[in-house]
Amino acid sequence: MTSTRALSDAALAALLEEDAPYGDLTTQVLGIGAAPATLSFTARGEMTVCGGEEAARLFELAGARARVLAPSGSRSEGLLLTAEGDAASLHRAWKVAQVLVELYSGIASATAALVASLRAAGFATPLACTRKHFPGTKAMSAKAVRCGGGYLHRLGLSETLLLFHEHRLFLDEDRAATRVRFQAVQPERGLMVEVSDREEALAWAAAGATALQLERFDPGQLAALERDLASRGLKPLLAVAGGVNAGNAVAYASAGADLLVSSAPYHAPPKDVKVEFRRA
């Protein structure tokens, strides 16, 4: 379970403000705002849930009371959340809360499906999702990945070392010198280098790279590289990135990947949540 809220009250209030900066015009015109009501969220089909805690807090910030019945990280095909209050409060938070649960349950469910395919095939290979989430959604995207059983490859630039070709363009030194400089300044961290072909991979492994991120290697190329490295007595961690999805994850694990790096869950379709209002 990952039931801790990922968004603060201020962030959630900003979502409500964005959707209804001057109130709910339809509810105001109809004069129904004071009517007591209840509301429920129900999954239309099985899903790995994410966002119920944030959705419930949205209702509370709008003036209603809410209860989470399916915590984030759980599997459900039934009742997810209930809320009660006046009609104005429920209408104000309704759509923002629904969309939040649908979007992030989609990411969580896609992550869970990918992880499940690996486990069903007998592989414990970790799945790590990239930082290619939609800008501004990092907190909830990270929560959704964790809910689905995945990990975060890099939360940002400030805490990880990953040497890209775009960095190496500006270096005038050999690979071993670069690795020594990294270790001198950050001795507690390993050095991961992204490579796009066999020759680069072998050269950086020989220079002492801790891990290689293999950009768009297919499973056959991965297996061949692992054999080449083993014949040279080299064993860097091999992370596969670029195009990893539910259709090929098992093939990559079978070929010898130590880590699968993917952005695919972020592009998953939202899950469908049924919302039902009732007059109290």
In sequence order, what are the residues at sequence separation of 6 or more whose Cβ sits closer than 8 angstroms to the Cβ of residue 223? 255, 256
- Assess whether 104 and 39 both reside in one domain: yes
- Assess whether 225 and 129 both reside in one domain: yes
User: What is the reported pLDDT for 91?
Assistant: 98
- Assess whether 123 and 254 both reside in one domain: yes
- Assess whether 74 and 188 both reside in one domain: no
Over residues 124-146, the mean pLDDT reads: 96
- Assess whether 240 and 130 both reside in one domain: yes
- Assess whether 34 and 143 both reside in one domain: no
- Assess whether 145 and 215 both reside in one domain: yes
Indicate if the pLDDT at residue 45 is higher than 80: yes
- Assess whether 256 and 220 both reside in one domain: yes
Phi/psi for 253 (5° steps) reads -60, -40
How many folded domains does the chain comprise? 2
State the average pLDDT for the chain.
96
Residue 211's domain comprises 118-267
User: What is the reported pLDDT for 2?
Assistant: 67
Indicate if the pLDDT at residue 3 is higher than 90: no
Does pTM top 0.85 for this prediction?
A: yes
User: What is the reported pLDDT for 159?
Assistant: 84
Task: Report the CATH number at residue 152.
Answer: 3.20.20.70
- Give domain status of residue 186, yes or no: yes
Whether the Cβ atoms of residue 60 and residue 95 lie closer than 8 Å to each other: no
Over residues 236-242, the mean pLDDT reads: 97
Q: For the chain, how many helices (H) and strands (E)? A: 10, 13
- Assess whether 180 and 273 both reside in one domain: no
- Give domain status of residue 1, yes or no: no
Indicate if the pLDDT at residue 267 is higher than 80: yes
> Where residue 203 falls among pLDDT bands split at 50, 70, 90?
very high
User: What is the reported pLDDT for 156?
Assistant: 86
- Give domain status of residue 54, yes or no: yes
- Give domain status of residue 256, yes or no: yes
User: What is the reported pLDDT for 1?
Assistant: 56
In sequence order, what are the residues at sequence separation of 6 or more whose Cβ sits closer than 8 angstroms to the Cβ of residue 133? 141, 142, 266
Over residues 73-81, the mean pLDDT reads: 97
Count the neighbouring beta carbons within 10 Å of the beta carbon of residue 134.
11
Amino acid at 226: E
Over residues 100-119, the mean pLDDT reads: 98
